[in-house]
Amino acid sequence: MRATILAATAFAFAGTLAWGGCDRPPIDRSAGPGGSDLGGNPYADGTEAGAQPGGICGDAPPLDVRARTTDPRVASVLSGLSLAEKVDQMAGPELTPDMFITADNERVGVRGFRFRDGPRGVRLESGTATCFPVAVARAAAWDLDLEYRVGGAIGAETRGLGHNCLLAPTVNVLRHPGWGRAQEAYGEDPWLTGMVGIASTRGIQTRVPACVKHFAANNIEDTRMTNNAVIDEQTLREVYARHFEMIVKEADAACVMAAYNKVNGQYCCENPPLLRDLLKGEWGFDGFVVSDWFAAKSTVESALGGLDVEMPFRANYSGLQLAVSGGQVPQEVIDEAVERILRIKFKFGFALLNEPYVGDPAVVESPAHTSLAREAARKGMVLLKNDGGALPIDAAKDKRIAVVGKWATQARLGDAGSSNVTPGYAVAPYLGIRTRAGSGAQVTTSQDASAAAGADVAVVVVALTQQDEGEAWNGGGDRDSLDLSPDQEQLVRDTAAVAARTVVVIEAGGPITMERWIGDADAIVMAWYPGMEGGRALADVLFGDFDFSGRLVQTWPKRWEDEPAFGNHQAETEMDYWHGYRHFDKTGVEPLFPFGFGLSYSTFSHSNLRIPCGTITPGGLLRVTADVKNTGARAGSEVVQAYVSTPDTTRRRFVKELKGFARVTLSPDETRTVEIPIRIPDLATWDTGTKSWLVEPIRHEVRVGPNARDLPLSGSFVVGPAGKEVAE
Ligand code: BGC
């Protein structure tokens, strides 16, 4: 199984296209990235200089854990463990206040797990760590190199603090914009989530094992403990499992967390079709499966179903020994689980107590990490509206700047659930703006609109709170409306009535509906929850020191009613094929802001799509190119997106799907040819008849442009031995 997958992967990325006499234009290889290869850090970006992971992490050289060898010591340690000791490996202790450990085995000298959340930094009970912008903000940067570096930094802090497994990334797709954990994940698109998840996992695993979560279909928060997600086979494969498959196979994820909910009637922690057949069988996953915290519900069914570790306590698995002696659970099931656990411990170098597990605590909140947090925050911020050049703020002319609203002086970092991180400091918007403006301008603040009266520019900071959205602890949960609170909507209107220009800055994890106030705002910025350096990052882009280069990774609807049913108040939810831009393409409804949308301070034109000629094999890589010109007066960044469709298919397929992108920064008037690699295996649909992925041997249309609803370039190609270029 393993050899087959490796061979297929290598084949896919080697590219087997024959270039038959086609002119290939000079290509900007610093632009990117859309595809990947199997190298160490395949995500060289080229838009802003950034340190490489080794430089950022500072301590030992990055681990190379992609070699799929098993340490010979695994077998000898395994054979020396008693049944009771094996079960100890498979669960948290029975009695401990610490919910994130499994016990050390002093007799044979095997170290236990020291798990830590999570997706925006290391979550600690006491002490501080770098708080990065939330995951959705980083995905909105469309910069895989950035996510690789952030993963490397969080991994290094995890290790520096003495922990040995990071409970991240969260990769459930945003099926509905009301999902409470939208902030923790990478948006609605399975392919993009897969690519960003690969980057994150590879980055984290330069230091510690990554635990990819929550497998599978954990897309509702309010009823997550019990909800039964009903999903047909094609939908499961293409929408809810595809990105997990990509991450498991291409990033060699060490750990997968089984979700709380049920999929097709069986809890994910005791779900043989998901854990045994798909994950461990078909995908060749050689790491271990851990339960979400308190998600395991059974002893025998969980063990047989493929759950290797029960967390946080040994509750169900306290019955494992009896189940083995009673013949309900074969000894081999236990041995397989413990072998998986030991394999990861050895692979990441922390199996043995007599071998020191060393990390560098000095990396925690180091200047390199906090400046990476600032880079990530500003790259992910999305400019949604900018009428009349309301932005950037001109430090020479805008002498009176007001920063208003309750959240102007309080940094919003995100929810209070398991991804919560406590940093040593956090820069609120007002502080960031005041510092950047310097002594040349008068910068004032108020919770209401009083400071805005007569201002040249008023920045209204509006936000969601941890009661509005988030993991369902301490409030949180799903949203029942996408509106801002009425008082914040009123604040926007009040400000617009008294200030010369009104800029609305939103801090939230998901889409906001704004029918009642969009006309009052001259400019609107989606800042997400921007992390501990958020205020400074905001000033970076508001004053135009950097361009806005973030693009939405979620479709923003005009109204809640434009979305499919959420189903977050019922015991069973049908998760059908359509969501996000796929749903809007099908219904024809205009979104407020389409997937991939975001303005720049400059403008761009796109031209000259070229699809290389030659045979296009189902395992190949197609390097399409397009010219991008900066038609504005300032340097700026563009994310060129490629969507692929199969207009002649007779199967149930999406109208189009994102399959490649390139990020590029251009000077005024500059034109560059960017390359967008499209991995042909990514174009496959799930064939329920043969139960396999199928790249249809038919015409594929590629459409290229700045977002899902603005794709001015198109061309097509046929996959198959006789495939040839038919670029238009
Ligand atoms: C969350 C997981 C988290 C775990 C441990 C659960 O409630 O769903 O994402 O890793 O808690 O904190």
- Structural domains of the chain, ranges and CATH numbers in brackets: 1-36+595-728 (2.60.40.10), 61-360 (3.20.20.300), 370-546 (3.40.50.1700)
Average pLDDT over residues 158-176: 98
What tokens were used for 290? Answer: 């851990």
List phi, psi (to 5°) of 268.
-60, -25
CA of 192 to the centre of ligand 1 (A): 23
Average pLDDT over residues 211-236: 97
Kindly report, residue by residue over 681-696, the tens digit of the pLDDT: 999 999 999 999 999 9
Q: Where is 657: in which H helix or E strand?
A: strand 657-666
For residue 301 and ligand 1, the question of a CB distance below 6 A is answered with no
For residue 546 and ligand 1, the question of a CB distance below 6 A is answered with no
CA of 141 to the centre of ligand 1 (A): 25
Starting from the edge strand earliest in sequence, which strands make up the sheet with 288-291, in order? 211-215, 255-258, 288-291
| Pair 162, 155: CB distance under 8 Å | no
Per-residue confidence at 108, pLDDT binned at 50, 70, 90?
very high
| Pair 686, 650: CB distance under 8 Å | no
Average pLDDT over residues 102-124: 98
Cβ-proximal residues to 147 (8 Å cutoff; 6+ apart), any chain? 43, 138, 139, 141, 196, 199, 200, 203
For residue 292 and ligand 1, the question of a CB distance below 6 A is answered with yes
Distance of CA 198 to the CA centre of its chain: 9
CA of 181 to the centre of ligand 1 (A): 11
Helix (H, G, I), strand (E, B) or coil at 110: strand
**Position 449 pLDDT exceeds 60:** yes
Residues marked active site are found at 292
Per-residue confidence at 69, pLDDT binned at 50, 70, 90?
low
Nearest CA to ligand 1 atom 6: 293
For residue 445 and ligand 1, the question of a CB distance below 6 A is answered with no
CA of 418 to the centre of ligand 1 (A): 5
Nearest CA to ligand 1 atom 12: 418
For residue 184 and ligand 1, the question of a CB distance below 6 A is answered with no
- Cα–Cα distance, 604 to 606 (Å, whole number): 7
Q: Where is 379: in which H helix or E strand?
A: helix 367-380
Tell me, what's the pLDDT at 29?
A: 43
Distance of CA 418 to the CA centre of its chain: 16
CA of 571 to the centre of ligand 1 (A): 21
Tell me, what's the pLDDT at 19?
A: 27
For residue 74 and ligand 1, the question of a CB distance below 6 A is answered with no
Kindly report, residue by residue over 239-254, the tens digit of the pLDDT: 999 999 999 999 999 9
Average pLDDT over residues 5-33: 33
What tokens were used for 558? Answer: 């005009």
Residue type, 688: T
Task: Report the range of poorest mean pLDDT among 27-36, 347-356, 466-475, 605-614.
Answer: 27-36
Average pLDDT over residues 86-95: 95
| Pair 207, 155: CB distance under 8 Å | yes
CA of 212 to the centre of ligand 1 (A): 11
Nearest to 448 by CA among 411, 497, 399: 497
Q: Where is 202: in which H helix or E strand?
A: helix 190-204
Per-residue confidence at 68, pLDDT binned at 50, 70, 90?
low
What tokens were used for 190? Answer: 């399975």
CA of 292 to the centre of ligand 1 (A): 6
**Position 219 pLDDT exceeds 60:** yes
Residue type, 224: R
Average pLDDT over residues 632-652: 97
For residue 600 and ligand 1, the question of a CB distance below 6 A is answered with no
Tell me, what's the pLDDT at 51?
A: 29
For residue 470, the cross-strand partners are 477
Nearest CA to ligand 1 atom 4: 293
What tokens were used for 234? Answer: 């094609």
**Position 63 pLDDT exceeds 80:** no
Residue type, 9: T
Kindly report, residue by residue over 387-405, the tens digit of the pLDDT: 999 999 999 999 999 999 9
List phi, psi (to 5°) of 289.
-105, 125
**Position 78 pLDDT exceeds 80:** yes
List phi, psi (to 5°) of 623.
-100, 90
For residue 167 and ligand 1, the question of a CB distance below 6 A is answered with yes
Nearest CA to ligand 1 atom 8: 292
Pocket test for ligand 1, best of 120, 158, 212, 471 (most atoms within 8 A of CB): 471
For residue 418 and ligand 1, the question of a CB distance below 6 A is answered with yes
Average pLDDT over residues 637-642: 98
Kindly report, residue by residue over 256-295, the tens digit of the pLDDT: 999 999 999 999 999 999 999 999 999 999 999 999 999 9
CA of 429 to the centre of ligand 1 (A): 29
List phi, psi (to 5°) of 402.
-115, 140
pTM, two decimal places: 0.93
**Percent of the chain residues past pLDDT 90, beyond the cut:** 86
549-587 b/e (C-beta count within 10 Å ≥ 16 → b): bbbbbbbbbbebebbbebbbeeeebebebbbbbbbbbee
What does the mean pLDDT of the chain come to? 91
Nearest to 212 by CA among 181, 182, 254, 249: 254
Tell me, what's the pLDDT at 475?
A: 83
**Position 720 pLDDT exceeds 80:** no
Alpha carbon separation from 51 to 24, 130, 155, 313, 380 (Å, rounded)? 32, 17, 16, 40, 18
- Cα–Cα distance, 103 to 342 (Å, whole number): 13
- Cα–Cα distance, 257 to 531 (Å, whole number): 25
Nearest CA to ligand 1 atom 7: 293
- Cα–Cα distance, 170 to 413 (Å, whole number): 17
Task: Report the range of poorest mean pLDDT among 166-170, 413-417, 617-621.
Answer: 617-621
- Cα–Cα distance, 284 to 124 (Å, whole number): 33
- Cα–Cα distance, 455 to 240 (Å, whole number): 48
Average pLDDT over residues 34-43: 32
Tell me, what's the pLDDT at 71?
A: 87
Distance of CA 55 to the CA centre of its chain: 23
Tell me, what's the pLDDT at 619?
A: 85
| Pair 710, 593: CB distance under 8 Å | no
Tell me, what's the pLDDT at 64?
A: 57
- Cα–Cα distance, 193 to 172 (Å, whole number): 8
Position with higher pLDDT, 106 vs 59: 106
For residue 117 and ligand 1, the question of a CB distance below 6 A is answered with yes
Counted residue by residue, the chain has a size of: 728
The neighbour count for residue 505, using CB atoms within 10 Å, is: 26
Pocket test for ligand 1, best of 293, 311, 478 (most atoms within 8 A of CB): 293
DSSP conformation letters of 497-545: HHSSSEEEEEE-SS--B-TTTGGG-SEEEE--S--TTHHHHHHHHHTTS
Ramachandran area for residue 661 (φ above 0: left; ψ -120 to 50: alpha; else beta): beta
What tokens were used for 520? Answer: 């009052």
**Position 727 pLDDT exceeds 70:** no
Kindly report, residue by residue over 515-562, the tens digit of the pLDDT: 999 999 999 999 999 999 999 999 999 999 999 999 999 999 999 999
CA distance from start to end of the chain: 41
**Percent of the chain residues past pLDDT 70, beyond the cut:** 89
